[in-house]
Amino acid sequence: QGQLVESGGGLVQTGGSLRLSCAVSGDMLTVEPTGWYRQAPGKQRELVASLTSIGTARYSDSVKGRFTISRDYAMGTVYLQMNSLKPEDTAVYYCKGVGTRRFRGRDYWGQGTQVTVSS
């Protein structure tokens, strides 16, 4: 069974940009990355962006127009391009995926990557 691995987080100033990556480690045929969530201190985990199997992207109102989700269909990697970052974007970002084949109906999560935006 595959696992999800996030990377690309870091410290950036207000107005800066970061690009997060979510790759599948192991058996890439059993896990499909589908979206990004984030969790800030004292808050619940919230949906940031998702991508359907046909390429339709959806975003939360707070990031619409600033973030872009995309997928490399050859490698199965999902990206989150974050522009015009604000301090309120500071959170741990998690990649979410769904099981495929015999693992259909199951959800999977990466370990998370920290994004900090300084004011």
pLDDT, position 26? 83
Q: What CA–CA distance (Å, rounded) separates 42 from 32?
A: 29
Give the SS3 label for residue 10.
Answer: strand
Which residues lie closer than 8 Å to 15 by C-beta, 6 or more apart? 84, 85
Indicate if the pLDDT at residue 55 is higher than 90: no
Give me the chain's average pLDDT, please. Answer: 94
pLDDT, position 54? 83
Q: Are 7 and 113 in contact (CB under 8 A)?
A: yes
pLDDT, position 109? 95
Indicate if the pLDDT at residue 1 is higher than 80: no
For 65-109, the pLDDT digits (tens) are 999 999 998 888 999 999 999 999 999 999 999 998 888 999 999
